[in-house]
Structure 1
Amino acid sequence: MEHRVDPKLALRFGLYEVDLVQGVLFRQGVRLKIQEQPFRILALLLQRPGEIVTREELQESLWPEGTHVNFDGSLNAALKKLRAAIQDDAENPRFIETVPRQGYRFLAPVHSVNGSRNSISPSTSVSPESSEECFEVRMRLNPEFSPERAAELSRERKMAERAARWIDFSLLSGAIAFGSWLLFFIVYPVPRPSVQRMTRITNASGIDEWGGIVSDGTRIFFLERDGGHWNLMQTSVEGGNAEKMPAPFENTRLFALSPDHSQFLIGQFTRRDDEMPLWLWPVQGGEPRRMGEAVGHDPTWSPDGSQIIYVRGRSLYTIHPDGTQLRELAHGPGLPHFPAWSPDGETIRFNMDKRDDGTQAVWEMAADGSGLHAILAGGRPLASQSAGEWTADGRYFLYSDCENYDCNLWGIREAWNWFRRSHRDPVQLTHGPDSLHVDIPTQTGSRVFAFSFRSNRELQKIEPRSHHAETLILNANAEVASISPDGQLALYTDRPDGSLWRSSVDGAQRLRLTQPPLVASAPHWSRDGKQILFTGVRPGFLRQIYFLSADGGALRAVLPESREASDADWSPDGTQIVVSMREQKTQPKFGIY
C-alpha cells in the first residue's frame, strides 16, 4: 500500500524530502535515520527558509521552560547530527548557515510535495506566506505539534522528570540504606553469648548428677546419694539448705515437670543403668499413676504437654500422658540419651552414643521422627557428653562438652538475625575451674541451672588399728590410685589430660607412663609388680584393656578393638584377668568374663 502525504505537509529541498506528519526524512526515496531533536530543528528551519531562526527560538521549541539542560552544548550536538544526516558542512554550508551571535538560516529552496513520496513533482518556491500556511496546516492536523498537545507534552515531560528525580532519590536512598545495613551487619554482629555471673545454690557432697535437675521456677529438685539409696532433694532457686522431700518409691528419679506445673514425670529404679517404669506424680502429692506400659529412661514433655518422649535401647518412643498412643518414633545407629523438644515443638534433639566408634554427638530430627541426622558445627559433628536444651526463647541451644574430665557449658545460636550478623559456631560459655555438667538443664528466663564439680583429692594412708591418716600424695588432680605389692610405688591418673603416672608413695620419683590423647583409668599392679593392667580410651575408639610394663614402654591391647572392655583386674595367682565387656545389641548387654 502506497504511503501518501498531503502536499502541504511534505517538503523537499535538494535530494531530500521531509514528511512533517510522520517525522521522517528521505534521500532519493530512502529513509534516513535521524533523532527527534535534529528533526525538529530541521522542521523549524524549513518553515522559515531564508530567515534567521534565533538560538532562543530553538531553545523554546526544543526545551520547554523549567527544563534543566546544558542548552548550548545540546543544541550544538543536535545541529551537528542534523548536518551529518543531510551531508552539510558548517564551513561551506549548502543548507544550514550559522549566523554569528544570532542563530541559523536555511539557504536552499524549499518545495512542497505533490502526491506520494515516490512520485515527486516540482512546485513553486515556498514564500513566507505559504510557509506560514504550511506551518498552520501542520499544527492543525498533527496533534503532536498543536499548542494543546505541546502543553500536554510539556506537562508530561515535567511529570516524567519529577518521577525520574523521585526514582533517582529512591534508588540513592535505598543504596545508602543498604550500605548502612551492610556496614552495621558486618561491623556490629550479634554479641556472642556469655555467662555474666555464676551463683552457688547449694553445696552437698552427695549430689548425684545422674539424677539431673528439674525446676518449677522457685525450687530445684535433684538426687542425693546415700549409700545404696537415693534421696529426692529440693532447695530454693535463690540458694539455701537442701531438704529431703517425700517420694513415692524407695528410689525415685524426677525427670521433668509438666508444662502446666501440675505433674512430675518420674521413674522407679533399683540400679542406675536399668530401664525403669515411668509414672506421673501430682505436684501436690498423692499416689503416682503408671503411664501405660512405658519403660525406659530420660523422658520429657512436649511443649504443649500433649506427648511424652522417652528412650529405650536404641529407640525413641512417644506416648500420651494417659498411657495411650505408644509408638516408636525413631531408631538410631547408637544409644540415644537426653531427648529435648524445641520450644516451638517442631524439632527434637538428643545425644547419640555410638559405641561402635566411641563417639558422642548431638542428633536432630523432626517431631514426627523424620529427617534424623547429626548436627554439624564448623563442618564436624557437634560433640556433647551430656544433655542439651534450648533456652526458653529458642535463640540458643545449650549443652556440655568434656575434654579430659573437664566439662564446660557451650552454646550455639539457633535464631537468625536479619539485621545483625549471627555466629553459628559453638561458643564456650564457661572456662573452669569447676567442671560443669548440664545433664538436663533448666531455664527460667535468662538463668541456667547446672551441676558444678571441683576436685580436691589426696592419697592418704590409714593405719587400721590407730585410724591415723597420713597424706602420701597431695595432688588435687590425682585419682584412682593403686599401691604396688611391696608398698613402695603408687599408680594414679592425672585429671587434666587423663595420663597414667607412677611415683613413690610420698609423691617423689614421678614417671609418666602414657601420653594423651589416651585417657587412662582403673590401673592395677600384677602380683609380681612388674606389669600394669588398666582401662584406656582414645577419641573415636571403644574403651579397651591394656598391658604395660611397670617401667613404661609400648602398650599391648588385651582384646581386639572391635570389643569394648573396661574395669579389668588380676586373678589372685596372676595367671588370669577378669574384665567387664559390653555386647553391642539393640538392648546393650553387660557381662563379666
Structure 2
Amino acid sequence: MPLLQKYRFGAFEFDPQKEELRKRGVKLRLNPQAACVLNALLENAGEVVSREELRKRLWPSDTFVDFEHRLHAAISEVRDALGDSATNPRYIKTLSRRGYRFIAELELVPRPAMPSNPPAQAAHDSAATPVMDAPRPHLRSLRRLWLAAAVVVTLTFGVVIVFLVRRGPPTPAIHSAVPLTTYMGAQHCPSFAPDGERVAFSWNGEREDNFDIYVKQIGVETPIRLTRDPRPDLSPAWSPDGRMIAFYRVTSNRTAEVLLIPALGGAERRIAEVAAAWQDYLTSRLLAWSADGKWLAMPEGAAADSVSGLILLSVETGQKRRLTFPPASYDDLDPAFSPDMKRLAFVRRFSSAADIYVVELTPELQAAGEPTRLTSESWPADSPVWAHDGKALLFTRY
C-alpha cells in the first residue's frame, strides 16, 4: 500500500496517519473529531465535503447525536487552531446548507518509502532506518463514548453516565436509548414535563423552514404545536407545576427574548429581552427553572463581550442578575438547579473543550464561592441533569 502523505499549507502541516496538526513544527491540540473533519477537508481540498459525508465519518449510522451542534464544535476547533474565521475564511469556507470546502493552496509532502525486502546489511543497520508509527484506529474511542445523547432527527431518551457527587470517581451505567420521535427535520432541546408523560421540544417542522415549540404526549405520535412565530423558538423548559413552558426566541444576531406560554397552548408572555447566545450553542439547553418557579437560569452576554456568563432571570419582573463570571474566552451554559436550590450545575466551554461545574448557592440565590469543576477528561461533557434526591448528576460525554 502507498504510504499516506502529509499535507502542508501555510505555516501548518497535518499528518493524516497520526492525526497530528503542527504549526512551524509545534504540535497543536486537536480532539479526534476535529482531526477527522480536517482530514476529510484536506483529502478533498477544493471540493465541497457535504455535512452528510462528515456525519458518516464521525459517527456510526446507529448513533443518536445532536449532529449539528457537534459538527459546529469540531469545525470551530479546527478554525481556532488555524486562526481562521468563518466570515473571512483563509482555509475553510462554509457553504450554506451544503457543507465545507478547504480553499487554501495545499502541498502534498511524500513520506520516505521503506524497502519491502531489505538486504542483510540494511537489516543490520536497522537502527538508522526511519520506521513509521502504526496507524491509529480511526476515531477508535467514539463508538463506546456515544451511549445516548440529544437529537438531530430523533429525540432520544437515555441515561449515559451517572456521576456521584462527593462520592469519589464516576460510575458508568449503560442503558438502552428509546426514540421518542421519528419526524422529518431536526428536533432539539427535549424537556420532560414534571409528570413524565409529555415532552416539549423545538422542531423545524416537516418543511424544515423554522423552529417552533411542540409538545408530544408519550406514546402518541402527533405533537401539539404551541408557537408559530417566523423567528426561531428554542430550548423549551417546563415550569415546576407543569402549567407553563418557558422558551427562547432568537430575534436577531445579537438579541433574543425569553417568553412563557401555557403548556396546553395560548397567549405568549414576554419575560425579558436578552443578549443572544452564540449561534453554536442554540441547540443546547439555555433555560432552567428554579424549584420554586420564581427564577430562570440562562446564559447571556456573548453578543456584548464574547463571554456568556449565567444569569438569573425573574419570571415575574424580568429582573436580571449575574451569577457566574467565566474567564476570558470561556462560556457558561446548560444550567441545572439542584432540587433543593442549593447548587447549580452547568457546562463551562472553551473552544470544543467542555466540563461540568457546580456552584454553591446562598438562600438568596447568590454564588457562595467559586464554581467547582467535576469533570476533567479529554472528552467534552454536557447536558447535566440532577437526580431526584440531588445526590447525583447525569450528563452526556461526546
Q: TM-score w.r.t. structure 2 length?
A: 0.50
> How far is the alpha carbon of 1:355 from its aligned partner?
2.4
CA contact (8 A) 1:340 1:350 kept: yes
**Cα distance between partner residues in 2 of 1:206 and 1:247:** 12
> How far is the alpha carbon of 1:312 from its aligned partner?
0.8
**Cα distance between partner residues in 2 of 1:257 and 1:415:** 27
Say yes or no: does 1:393 pair with 2:328: no
CA contact (8 A) 1:361 1:381 kept: no
> How far is the alpha carbon of 1:367 from its aligned partner?
1.5
SS in 2 for 1:355: helix
Q: 1:231 to 1:322 in 2, by over 3 A?
A: closer
CA contact (8 A) 1:318 1:326 kept: yes
- Paired residues in the alignment total 233
Look up the match of 1:163: none
> How far is the alpha carbon of 1:403 from its aligned partner?
2.9
Look up the match of 2:248: 311
Of 339, 344, 350 in structure 2, the residue corresponding to residue 403 of structure 1 is: 350
SS in 2 for 1:386: strand
Say yes or no: does 1:231 pair with 2:154: yes
Aligned alpha-carbon RMSD (Å): 3.6
**Cα distance between partner residues in 1 of 2:275 and 2:187:** 30
| Amino acid corresponding to residue 402 of structure 1 in structure 2 | R
| Amino acid corresponding to residue 324 of structure 1 in structure 2 | G
> How far is the alpha carbon of 1:303 from its aligned partner?
0.8
**Cα distance between partner residues in 2 of 1:288 and 1:310:** 17
Look up the match of 1:280: 215
Q: 1:323 to 1:302 in 2, by over 3 A?
A: same
| Amino acid corresponding to residue 301 of structure 1 in structure 2 | W
* Mapping of residues 100-115 of structure 1, within 5 Å: none
SS in 2 for 1:332: strand
> How far is the alpha carbon of 1:399 from its aligned partner?
0.7
SS in 2 for 1:397: strand
Of 201, 226, 230 in structure 2, the residue corresponding to residue 266 of structure 1 is: 201
* Mapping of residues 164-203 of structure 1, within 5 Å: none
Look up the match of 1:413: 360
Look up the match of 1:441: 385
**Cα distance between partner residues in 2 of 1:274 and 1:391:** 36
**Cα distance between partner residues in 2 of 1:385 and 1:262:** 30
> How far is the alpha carbon of 1:441 from its aligned partner?
3.4
> How far is the alpha carbon of 1:257 from its aligned partner?
0.9
Of 211, 233, 237 in structure 2, the residue corresponding to residue 296 of structure 1 is: 233
Of structures 1 and 2, the one scoring higher in RCO (CA 8 A, sep 6+) is 2
Q: 1:245 to 1:315 in 2, by over 3 A?
A: closer
User: Sequence identity of aligned pairs in percent?
Assistant: 13
Structure 1, unaligned stretches of length 5 or more?
1-202, 213-219, 454-593
| Amino acid corresponding to residue 372 of structure 2 in structure 1 | V
| Amino acid corresponding to residue 290 of structure 2 in structure 1 | S
**Cα distance between partner residues in 1 of 2:329 and 2:293:** 21
> How far is the alpha carbon of 1:404 from its aligned partner?
4.6
**Cα distance between partner residues in 2 of 1:329 and 1:382:** 28
> How far is the alpha carbon of 1:425 from its aligned partner?
1.6
Say yes or no: does 1:425 pair with 2:348: no
> How far is the alpha carbon of 1:277 from its aligned partner?
1.7
Look up the match of 1:375: 323
**Cα distance between partner residues in 1 of 2:190 and 2:339:** 18
SS in 2 for 1:331: strand
CA contact (8 A) 1:374 1:382 kept: no
From the two aligned structures, give the one with the greater strand fraction: 1
> How far is the alpha carbon of 1:224 from its aligned partner?
5.2
Q: 1:435 to 1:335 in 2, by over 3 A?
A: closer
Deviations along 1:197-242, one digit per CA (max 9) or x if unpaired, are xxxxxx9755227689xxxxxxx974455xxxx2333445642343
| Amino acid corresponding to residue 330 of structure 1 in structure 2 | A
Look up the match of 1:332: 274
Q: 1:247 to 1:268 in 2, by over 3 A?
A: same
**Cα distance between partner residues in 1 of 2:317 and 2:388:** 28
CA contact (8 A) 2:335 2:347 kept: yes
Deviations along 1:264-302, one digit per CA (max 9) or x if unpaired, are 11222269x975121111112242112153660011111
SS in 2 for 1:324: coil
Deviations along 1:400-421, one digit per CA (max 9) or x if unpaired, are 112353211111011459xxxx
**Cα distance between partner residues in 2 of 1:346 and 1:424:** 22
> How far is the alpha carbon of 1:432 from its aligned partner?
1.5
> How far is the alpha carbon of 1:369 from its aligned partner?
3.6
Look up the match of 1:344: 292
Deviations along 1:54-91, one digit per CA (max 9) or x if unpaired, are xxxxxxxxxxxxxxxxxxxxxxxxxxxxxxxxxxxxxx
Of 335, 358, 370 in structure 1, the residue corresponding to residue 306 of structure 2 is: 358
